[in-house]
Amino acid sequence: MEIVVLNGSPKGDVSVTMQYIAYIRKKFPDQTYTILNVAADIKKIERDTATWNKMLETIRSADLVLWAFPLYYLVVSSQYKRFIELIFERKAQDAFAGTYSASLSTSIHFFDQTAHAYIQAISDDLGMKYLGFYSAEMRDLLKEEERQRLEKFTSLLISAVREKIAVQQENAPLVWPVLAYVPGTQQKTTRTSTKKVVMLTDSDGSSPNLSAMTDRLFRNFAGSVEIINLHDLKVKGGCLGCCQCGYDNTCVYTDDYIDFYKNKLMPADIIIMAGSVHDRYLSSTWKQFFDRSFFKGHVPGLKGKQIGFVIAGPFHQIPNLREALAAWADNGGCYAQFVTDEVSGSQELDALLDTLAARLVECAEKGYIPPHTFYAVGGHKIFRDNIYAGMRLPFQADYRYFREHGMFDFPQADLKTRCFNAILIPLTKIPGFRKKVFADIKHHMIRPFESVLRNA
Ligand SMILES: Cc1cc2nc3c(=O)[nH]c(=O)nc-3n(C[C@H](O)[C@H](O)[C@H](O)COP(=O)(O)O)c2cc1C
């Protein structure tokens, strides 16, 4: 069986994910494997037609295509994303259609499900037969139990391909909104008072709706507002995953990105992010923007900002994309609001964009950030535990930040609750006491609020 591995790590062979592939190769030596370093070689793949064509031939000969990648910002790396874009741009879907596929990732399990849902949708769009995913915690291979699990997964993949099992597609093809947006002449103006607005777009002129929406919004803000096209920044490439920034947040790249992030984004109160749907995400240019912010490690560099996502395309048909963006914002301590061109008419879109401008300013003035949801509450615990222990050496800047900001909030530090439990839990072994406590548990739960309500 021919297994073609599409390596999504910008680190090429020197990749954690590729260690899992190496393990699979050792345990299943009867299969043939070809590894294509599509993320690491993306510039060559874009430039050199011969490389591209040779790669497609390899993919065409595959019985199984394995998307193997590290998680990058809740999805895949911008380089991998670019590779996926090229498939559609160059109309190379036929090289993939009809072939079985599966995905394998390594990560710290922070939004691994959104990454695999993305790859599954891409597989569906390419007409592939997607068999499922394997999401390894990056150090899983060190554990015997996990190695066995990986072997079981691989043998299931091999038997599925051999037996040509039936596979159901889960993602319907995307249908683009039909609206050709023409903004009205009546323009609302929202005073930004002292609030700074920065609008980012990756518009390349190919989406008239995106340009019109951005323009309408721009004219809405009266005050400090600047519009920056991501294509105008000199950014040399996507995050390399080298983690050299982990010590003191210094990136190995010397280009416009860090300066732009520190001097344009960090001082802003409101950031508009305008882009159009490209396959099942935004563009790889946008992905590069997110990935490169990794020089801040796991420190929320844009904490407290109001984020307005302005999106052209079938955004509401991709709940996974909404989840990835909302979770990114929540984890960063931001408030994200969304407007898309999936509406019935231009007037409706005018009203939505005008409202978005007004709401962003009002929220910025009030300093309103919603309470964290599961996205950030869960995310915090994952990062906290990793930075405290396993990731402490490479991410020392994170460690310092977490310590200084009291973010190592392990439950065992809560002495009051521990003392309370140490006394009360043994007492509940006494049937009479237990009966009394549990009979009245509803009141126990609301008792701590009494003084707050009394004094409110
Ligand atoms: C830019 C960047 C973004 C990352 N984003 C995530 C993420 O969203 N979720 C996660 O669990 N791990 C994330 N990671 C951790 C990597 O997925 C993990 O270290 C992976 O094992 C690296 O694999 P590789 O060596 O094959 O590239 C990120 C790492 C980098 C460098």
From 348, 366, 384, give the residue that closes a domain. 366
What residue ranges line ligand 1, CB within 6 angstroms?
Answer: 9, 11, 15-17, 70-74, 106-112, 138, 239, 241, 291, 294
Place of tokens 């490389």: 51
| Same domain flag for 223 and 283 | yes
- Helix%, strand%, coil% for the chain, nearest 5: 50, 15, 35
Same domain, 324 and 445: no
β-strand pairing of 225-229 with 335-340: unpaired
Question: Quick one: 201 and 345 in the same domain?
Answer: yes
Q: Which amino acid is at 354?
A: D
Q: 43, 237 in Cβ contact below 8 A?
A: yes
Q: Same domain, yes or no, for 138 and 200?
A: no
| Best probe residue, ligand 1, of 15, 17, 107 (max atoms within 8 Å of C-beta) | 107
End residue of a domain, out of 162, 178, 199: 162
CA dihedral 428, 432, 436, 438 (to 10 degrees): 50
281: its two tokens: 């995400």
Asked if 115 and 70 touch (Cβ cutoff 8 Å), the reply is no
pTM of the model: 0.96
Whether 377 is covered by a domain: the verdict is no
What is the model's pLDDT at position 189? 84
Q: What is the per-residue pLDDT for 264? A: 98
Q: What spacing in Å lies between the alpha carbon of 70 and ligand 1's midpoint?
A: 5
Partners of residue 222 on adjacent β-strands: 191
Select from 72, 106, 240, 243 the residue to mutate for testing ligand 1; criterion: most ligand atoms less than 8 Å from CB: 72
Determine, yes or no, domain membership for 403: no
Structure confidence at residue 217 (pLDDT):
96
Coil/strand/helix, residue 107: strand
- Domain match, 92 and 148 both: yes
Per DSSP (E only), the strands in 239-334 are: 270-276, 306-312
Question: How far apart (Å, rounded) are the C-alpha atoms in residues 177 and 427?
Answer: 63
Residue appearing with tokens 């150090």:
139
Pair 234, 255: CB distance under 8 Å: yes
DSSP letter assigned to residue 373 = -
Instruction: Give 397's Cβ-side CA count (13 Å radius).
Output: 17
Q: Are residues 146 and 243 in the same domain?
A: no
148 shares a domain with 194:
no
Q: Which residues pair with 33 in a beta bridge?
A: 3
Tell me the best of 42, 71, 139, 261 to mutate to test the pocket of ligand 1, counting ligand atoms within 8 Å of each CB and taking the most: 71
Q: What is the pLDDT along the chain (456 residues), one digit of tens a residue?
A: 999 999 999 999 999 999 999 999 999 999 999 999 999 999 999 999 999 999 999 999 999 999 999 999 999 999 999 999 999 999 999 999 999 999 999 999 999 999 999 999 999 999 999 999 999 999 999 999 999 999 999 999 999 999 999 999 999 999 999 999 999 998 878 777 789 999 999 999 999 999 999 999 999 998 889 999 999 999 999 999 999 999 999 999 999 999 999 999 999 999 999 999 999 999 999 999 999 999 999 999 999 999 999 999 999 999 999 999 999 999 999 999 999 999 999 999 999 999 999 999 999 999 999 999 999 999 999 999 999 999 999 999 999 999 999 999 887 667 888 899 999 999 999 999 999 999 999 999 999 999 999 999
Question: Residue whose CA is closest, atom 27 of ligand 1?
Answer: 9
Residue 67 covered by a domain:
yes
* Domain range for 439: 414-455
- CATH code for the domain in which residue 92 is found: 3.40.50.360
| Beta strands per DSSP E along 233-392 | 270-276, 306-312, 335-340
Question: How far is Cα of residue 272 from the mean position of the Cα atoms in its chain?
Answer: 18
198 and 340 assigned to the same domain: yes
Looking at the DSSP bridge assignments, the partners of residue 265 are none
CA distances from 16 to 21, 26, 289, 299, 350 (A): 9, 16, 23, 23, 48
Provide the number of structural domains found in the chain: 3
Q: Is 374 among the domain residues?
A: no
Asked if the structure places residue 29 within a domain, the reply is: yes
Tell which of 331, 366, 401 closes a domain.
Answer: 366
Residue 105 β-bridge partners: 69, 135
Dist. CA 26–CA 112, nearest whole Å: 26
